[in-house]
Amino acid sequence: MIYGYALAWPWLLLALPLPWLLAHLLPPAPSALDAALRVPFAAEVDSLAARVSNRRRVRILAWAWLAWALLCLAAARPQELGEPLQPPQRGRNLWLAVDLSGSMAAEDMRLGGRMVDRLTAAKAVLADFIERRRDDRLGLLVFGERAYALTPLTLDHEAVRSQLLDSAIGLAGQETAIGDAIALAVKRLRDAPPAAAGETAERVLILLTDGVNTAGAVDPQRALELARAEGLRVHTIGFGGSGRSSFMGMSIQRPAQIDEATLKRIAEGTGGRYFRALDTAQLAGIYAEIDRIEPTAEPGEVLQPREERYAWPLAAALLLAGFAGLMRLLPRRSAWT
């Protein structure tokens, strides 16, 4: 590529010396003396040819060679290259569902050298996960006694991260409605317009909980059937450790009571996976593993628009060839010479 132009078939420029090669390799044309047919006006033709000077012949030959060169250039297909374009990348429609029930207040997670509650640890890991999903449409669901969508599917990941960090325990109630969370993700996917939902993209829900389904209008089994019908792949994470928390200065043991059988059934029934995290490090490892099995879209091939420009040298070649022909036919005293 030079100055924004390129040749599609540059090898056709090898035809440039073809007339010279033919002139030197082919036998010369028979002279008038060898001609089998003589015409009455042969003398006049010879006289006309004799009037063409060497200078005029060189000029005609130069025009003819230039016309041939332009014809070869047109055959090589010159193209004007536009500005390189990066096509839109097709990422995933990825819902994040986070449990905000009362049990997420248990301070049994270590983060930055101090003990924190489960929700604080989950926020830290999820915020980092959101940063890495650059090409995905992300949506945030929270659930307790009921499920709520804090953001729609969006490429504005900073808005998703901000809503996640602002969420608080008890915001959706103290109990746990796992079935409602899955059903809400399915409903939002159905209701989203095609341009926003990306109908051809992968549909994934990552659900994090530390409890058992104790509330909600949709049974987890029914939610599983809805997700499967909608093509929503659900990864489930059971999160929680010893459950030690403090109340009025006293340490209270509140171990996580996770319905692992239900979470496994939901994940396997939708083509997802079930994970169990006992601490913050394990949770970070789980989201890293989800990154691996649900990779973001690879950068698309850069496209460069090309506009054909062969018509320019082709038109110039035809004009020069016609001009050379006129010069050959016109008498020496013509203004063309």
The per-residue pLDDT for range 122-171, each reduced to its tens digit, is: 999 999 999 988 878 899 999 999 999 999 999 899 999 999 999 999 88
The structural domains of the chain, with segments of one domain joined by +, span: 5-24+45-82+306-329, 93-293
> What are the helix (H) ranges across the chain?
18-25, 42-50, 54-75, 118-132, 157-166, 178-191, 194-197, 220-230, 260-269, 280-293, 311-329
What pTM was computed for the model? 0.62
Q: How confident is the model at residue 2 (pLDDT cuts 50, 70, 90)?
A: very low
Radius of gyration of the chain (CA): 39
Q: What is the CATH number that goes with domain 93-293?
A: 3.40.50.410
- Predicted local distance difference test score (pLDDT) of residue 97: 96
Model confidence over 63-116: pLDDT tens digits? 778 888 888 888 888 888 877 765 555 568 899 999 999 989 988 898 888 999
The mean pLDDT of the chain is 80
Question: Mean pLDDT, to the nearest integer, of 277-303?
Answer: 81
Question: Virtual CA dihedral for 154, 156, 158, 162, nearest 10 degrees?
Answer: -40
CB atoms within 10 A of CB 232: 23
The pLDDT of residue 302 is 66
Report the distance separating Cα 35 and Cα 42, nearest Å: 11
Mean pLDDT is lowest, of 17-21, 96-100, 253-257, 290-294, for: 253-257
Can you tell me the distance from the alpha carbon of 205 to that of 216, in angstroms, rounded to the nearest whole number?
18
Write b or e for each residue in 15-43: b if 16 or more Cβ atoms lie within 10 A of its Cβ, otherwise e: eeeeeeeeeeeeeeeeeeeeeeeeeeeee
Q: Round to whole Å and give the CA distance between 105 and 170.
A: 9
Residues near 107 by beta carbon (within 8 Å), at least 6 away in sequence: 115, 116, 117, 118, 244, 245, 246
CA 79, CA 71: separation in Å to the nearest integer? 15
Give per-residue burial for 74-109: e unless 16+ CB within 10 Å, then b.
bbbbbbeeeeeeeeeeebbbbbbbbbbbbbbbbbbb
